[in-house]
Structure 1
Amino acid sequence: MNEVEKYIENFPEEVQQRLTKMREIIKELAPEASERICMGIPTYDLHGKWLVHFAGFRKHIGFYPQPEGITAFKEKLTQYKTSKGTIQFPLNKPLPEELIREIVNYRVEHQNG
Protein backbone atom coordinates (compact mmCIF):
# COMPACT_ATOMS: atom_id res chain seq x y z
CA MET A 1 0.00 0.00 0.00
CA ASN A 2 1.47 3.37 -0.99
CA GLU A 3 1.17 6.64 0.91
CA VAL A 4 -1.86 7.87 -1.09
CA GLU A 5 -3.70 4.60 -0.44
CA LYS A 6 -2.90 4.98 3.27
CA TYR A 7 -4.22 8.55 3.19
CA ILE A 8 -7.51 7.40 1.62
CA GLU A 9 -7.83 4.51 4.07
CA ASN A 10 -8.07 6.95 7.00
CA PHE A 11 -11.51 8.22 5.93
CA PRO A 12 -15.03 6.78 6.35
CA GLU A 13 -16.13 4.43 3.56
CA GLU A 14 -18.27 7.03 1.74
CA VAL A 15 -15.35 9.47 1.59
CA GLN A 16 -12.91 6.70 0.64
CA GLN A 17 -15.06 5.87 -2.39
CA ARG A 18 -15.00 9.47 -3.58
CA LEU A 19 -11.28 9.91 -2.99
CA THR A 20 -10.60 6.63 -4.79
CA LYS A 21 -12.70 7.82 -7.75
CA MET A 22 -10.75 11.12 -7.86
CA ARG A 23 -7.50 9.15 -7.83
CA GLU A 24 -8.70 6.81 -10.61
CA ILE A 25 -9.72 9.73 -12.84
CA ILE A 26 -6.40 11.51 -12.37
CA LYS A 27 -4.35 8.36 -12.97
CA GLU A 28 -6.39 7.52 -16.08
CA LEU A 29 -6.07 10.98 -17.64
CA ALA A 30 -2.51 11.70 -16.49
CA PRO A 31 -0.78 8.30 -16.46
CA GLU A 32 2.66 9.96 -16.64
CA ALA A 33 2.03 12.03 -13.51
CA SER A 34 3.86 11.05 -10.36
CA GLU A 35 1.79 10.50 -7.23
CA ARG A 36 2.88 11.51 -3.75
CA ILE A 37 1.76 13.15 -0.52
CA CYS A 38 2.70 16.83 -0.38
CA MET A 39 1.47 19.26 2.27
CA GLY A 40 -0.35 16.29 3.80
CA ILE A 41 -2.58 15.57 0.77
CA PRO A 42 -2.44 13.48 -2.43
CA THR A 43 -0.53 15.41 -5.07
CA TYR A 44 0.11 14.71 -8.75
CA ASP A 45 3.09 16.21 -10.53
CA LEU A 46 3.60 16.34 -14.28
CA HIS A 47 6.86 17.46 -15.90
CA GLY A 48 8.17 18.61 -12.52
CA LYS A 49 5.18 20.86 -11.76
CA TRP A 50 2.05 20.45 -9.66
CA LEU A 51 -0.83 19.17 -11.75
CA VAL A 52 -3.64 18.71 -9.18
CA HIS A 53 -4.19 17.79 -5.53
CA PHE A 54 -7.21 16.49 -3.65
CA ALA A 55 -8.16 16.05 -0.01
CA GLY A 56 -10.91 14.59 2.14
CA PHE A 57 -12.79 16.62 4.73
CA ARG A 58 -15.75 16.04 7.02
CA LYS A 59 -18.31 17.64 4.67
CA HIS A 60 -16.58 17.88 1.29
CA ILE A 61 -13.82 16.75 -1.04
CA GLY A 62 -11.31 19.48 -1.78
CA PHE A 63 -9.96 19.59 -5.33
CA TYR A 64 -6.99 21.80 -6.13
CA PRO A 65 -6.44 22.19 -9.90
CA GLN A 66 -4.27 25.32 -9.57
CA PRO A 67 -5.88 28.77 -10.08
CA GLU A 68 -5.98 28.43 -13.88
CA GLY A 69 -7.96 25.19 -13.54
CA ILE A 70 -10.63 27.09 -11.65
CA THR A 71 -10.62 30.21 -13.81
CA ALA A 72 -11.08 28.18 -17.00
CA PHE A 73 -14.19 26.45 -15.61
CA LYS A 74 -15.70 29.33 -13.64
CA GLU A 75 -19.04 29.04 -15.46
CA LYS A 76 -19.34 25.33 -14.65
CA LEU A 77 -18.35 25.78 -11.01
CA THR A 78 -21.10 28.18 -9.93
CA GLN A 79 -22.85 25.55 -7.78
CA TYR A 80 -19.66 24.80 -5.81
CA LYS A 81 -17.78 26.78 -3.22
CA THR A 82 -14.50 27.92 -4.75
CA SER A 83 -11.53 30.10 -3.91
CA LYS A 84 -8.45 31.06 -5.89
CA GLY A 85 -7.12 27.49 -5.94
CA THR A 86 -9.83 25.29 -4.39
CA ILE A 87 -13.10 23.66 -5.37
CA GLN A 88 -15.26 22.03 -2.71
CA PHE A 89 -17.42 19.08 -3.77
CA PRO A 90 -19.96 18.54 -0.95
CA LEU A 91 -20.44 15.00 0.31
CA ASN A 92 -24.23 15.40 0.18
CA LYS A 93 -24.17 15.72 -3.64
CA PRO A 94 -22.90 13.30 -6.31
CA LEU A 95 -19.25 13.67 -7.23
CA PRO A 96 -19.19 15.54 -10.59
CA GLU A 97 -16.97 13.00 -12.34
CA GLU A 98 -17.36 14.47 -15.83
CA LEU A 99 -16.44 17.95 -14.62
CA ILE A 100 -13.41 16.55 -12.79
CA ARG A 101 -12.38 14.80 -16.02
CA GLU A 102 -12.68 18.06 -17.97
CA ILE A 103 -10.58 19.95 -15.44
CA VAL A 104 -7.87 17.26 -15.24
CA ASN A 105 -7.73 17.06 -19.05
CA TYR A 106 -7.38 20.84 -19.22
CA ARG A 107 -4.56 20.80 -16.69
CA VAL A 108 -2.74 17.98 -18.51
CA GLU A 109 -3.02 19.78 -21.86
CA HIS A 110 -1.69 23.00 -20.37
CA GLN A 111 1.08 21.24 -18.49
CA ASN A 112 2.17 19.54 -21.72
CA GLY A 113 2.33 22.99 -23.27
Structure 2
Amino acid sequence: MNSVDDYLAAQPADVRERLAELRRRIHAAVPGAGEAIRYGMPTVTLGGSSLVHLAAWKKHIALYPVPGGDDAYERAVAPYRGAKDAAHFPHRDPLPYDVAVLIVERLAALHRQD
Protein backbone atom coordinates (compact mmCIF):
# COMPACT_ATOMS: atom_id res chain seq x y z
CA MET A 1 0.00 0.00 0.00
CA ASN A 2 1.33 3.38 -0.94
CA SER A 3 -1.29 5.59 0.69
CA VAL A 4 -4.18 5.58 3.12
CA ASP A 5 -6.51 5.96 0.15
CA ASP A 6 -5.04 2.75 -1.37
CA TYR A 7 -5.51 0.93 1.95
CA LEU A 8 -9.15 2.01 2.17
CA ALA A 9 -9.83 1.13 -1.47
CA ALA A 10 -8.62 -2.42 -0.81
CA GLN A 11 -11.24 -2.99 1.94
CA PRO A 12 -14.77 -4.34 1.53
CA ALA A 13 -17.30 -1.51 1.08
CA ASP A 14 -18.76 -1.68 4.60
CA VAL A 15 -15.33 -1.69 6.25
CA ARG A 16 -14.12 1.06 3.90
CA GLU A 17 -17.03 3.27 4.98
CA ARG A 18 -16.29 2.71 8.67
CA LEU A 19 -12.59 3.43 8.19
CA ALA A 20 -13.28 6.54 6.11
CA GLU A 21 -15.60 7.95 8.76
CA LEU A 22 -13.10 7.10 11.50
CA ARG A 23 -10.36 8.83 9.49
CA ARG A 24 -12.54 11.91 9.05
CA ARG A 25 -13.35 12.12 12.76
CA ILE A 26 -9.73 11.65 13.80
CA HIS A 27 -8.61 14.47 11.53
CA ALA A 28 -11.42 16.69 12.88
CA ALA A 29 -10.28 15.95 16.44
CA VAL A 30 -6.59 16.55 15.72
CA PRO A 31 -6.25 19.57 13.43
CA GLY A 32 -3.00 19.58 11.52
CA ALA A 33 -2.55 15.82 11.72
CA GLY A 34 -0.95 14.11 8.76
CA GLU A 35 -1.08 10.53 7.63
CA ALA A 36 1.15 7.84 6.22
CA ILE A 37 1.34 4.10 5.84
CA ARG A 38 3.54 2.63 8.56
CA TYR A 39 3.83 -1.05 9.41
CA GLY A 40 1.43 -1.62 6.53
CA MET A 41 -1.35 0.32 8.28
CA PRO A 42 -2.85 3.78 7.95
CA THR A 43 -1.12 5.94 10.52
CA VAL A 44 -2.18 9.36 11.71
CA THR A 45 0.87 11.50 12.40
CA LEU A 46 1.43 14.62 14.44
CA GLY A 47 4.55 16.66 13.91
CA GLY A 48 5.91 13.88 11.70
CA SER A 49 5.68 11.24 14.47
CA SER A 50 3.19 8.39 14.55
CA LEU A 51 0.17 9.20 16.70
CA VAL A 52 -2.18 6.27 16.07
CA HIS A 53 -2.36 3.31 13.70
CA LEU A 54 -5.63 1.97 12.26
CA ALA A 55 -6.04 -1.51 10.87
CA ALA A 56 -8.90 -3.46 9.35
CA TRP A 57 -8.99 -7.10 10.37
CA LYS A 58 -11.42 -9.86 9.50
CA LYS A 59 -13.64 -9.29 12.54
CA HIS A 60 -12.77 -5.80 13.74
CA ILE A 61 -11.08 -2.45 13.22
CA ALA A 62 -8.20 -1.81 15.58
CA LEU A 63 -6.52 1.33 16.89
CA TYR A 64 -2.96 1.20 18.25
CA PRO A 65 -1.80 2.25 20.82
CA VAL A 66 -4.38 2.89 23.52
CA PRO A 67 -2.86 4.79 26.43
CA GLY A 68 -4.08 4.77 30.00
CA GLY A 69 -6.13 7.59 31.43
CA ASP A 70 -8.35 8.69 34.28
CA ASP A 71 -11.26 6.61 35.60
CA ALA A 72 -13.86 8.04 33.20
CA TYR A 73 -11.57 7.42 30.24
CA GLU A 74 -10.83 3.87 31.36
CA ARG A 75 -14.55 3.09 31.79
CA ALA A 76 -15.24 4.30 28.24
CA VAL A 77 -12.34 2.40 26.68
CA ALA A 78 -12.49 -0.83 28.74
CA PRO A 79 -15.09 -2.67 26.61
CA TYR A 80 -12.87 -2.29 23.55
CA ARG A 81 -9.41 -2.97 24.98
CA GLY A 82 -7.65 -5.78 23.20
CA ALA A 83 -4.20 -7.25 23.47
CA LYS A 84 -1.06 -5.18 23.13
CA ASP A 85 -2.60 -1.80 24.02
CA ALA A 86 -5.08 -1.89 21.16
CA ALA A 87 -8.76 -1.07 20.88
CA HIS A 88 -10.88 -3.52 18.88
CA PHE A 89 -14.15 -2.36 17.35
CA PRO A 90 -16.06 -5.43 16.07
CA HIS A 91 -17.61 -5.13 12.61
CA ARG A 92 -20.85 -6.62 13.96
CA ASP A 93 -21.39 -3.56 16.19
CA PRO A 94 -21.76 0.13 15.38
CA LEU A 95 -18.33 1.72 15.58
CA PRO A 96 -18.11 3.82 18.77
CA TYR A 97 -16.61 6.88 17.08
CA ASP A 98 -16.82 8.85 20.33
CA VAL A 99 -14.57 6.31 22.08
CA ALA A 100 -12.13 6.25 19.16
CA VAL A 101 -11.92 10.05 19.21
CA LEU A 102 -11.44 10.00 23.00
CA ILE A 103 -8.46 7.66 22.52
CA VAL A 104 -6.97 9.84 19.79
CA GLU A 105 -7.46 13.03 21.79
CA ARG A 106 -5.67 11.40 24.73
CA LEU A 107 -2.81 10.34 22.45
CA ALA A 108 -2.56 13.87 21.03
CA ALA A 109 -2.47 15.39 24.52
CA LEU A 110 0.30 13.00 25.55
CA HIS A 111 2.17 13.70 22.31
CA ARG A 112 2.07 17.44 22.96
CA GLN A 113 3.57 16.90 26.44
CA ASP A 114 6.69 15.30 24.95
TM-score range, shorter chain: 0.7 to 0.9
The percent identity for this pair of structures is 32
Cα displacement string for residues 22-53 of structure 1 (whole angstroms, at most 9, x for unaligned residues): 11011111222220000000011212432111
CA gap 1:80/1:39 in 2 versus in 1, 3 angstroms: same
CA contact (8 A) 2:35 2:45 kept: yes
Aligned residues: 109
Are 2:51 and 1:51 aligned?
yes
Deviation at 1:102, TM superposition (A): 1.3
> Which runs of 4 or more aligned residues in structure 1 lie more than 4 Å from their structure 2 counterparts after TM superposition?
none
Alignment TM-score, normalising by the size of structure 1 = 0.85
Deviation at 1:83, TM superposition (A): 2.0
Equivalent-residue separation in structure 2 for 1:56 and 1:46 (angstroms): 21
Are 2:16 and 1:16 aligned?
yes
Structure 1 gaps, min length 5: none
Give the residue type in structure 1 aligned to 2:111: Q
RMSD, matched Cα: 1.6
Structure 2 gaps, min length 5: none
Are 2:40 and 1:30 aligned?
no
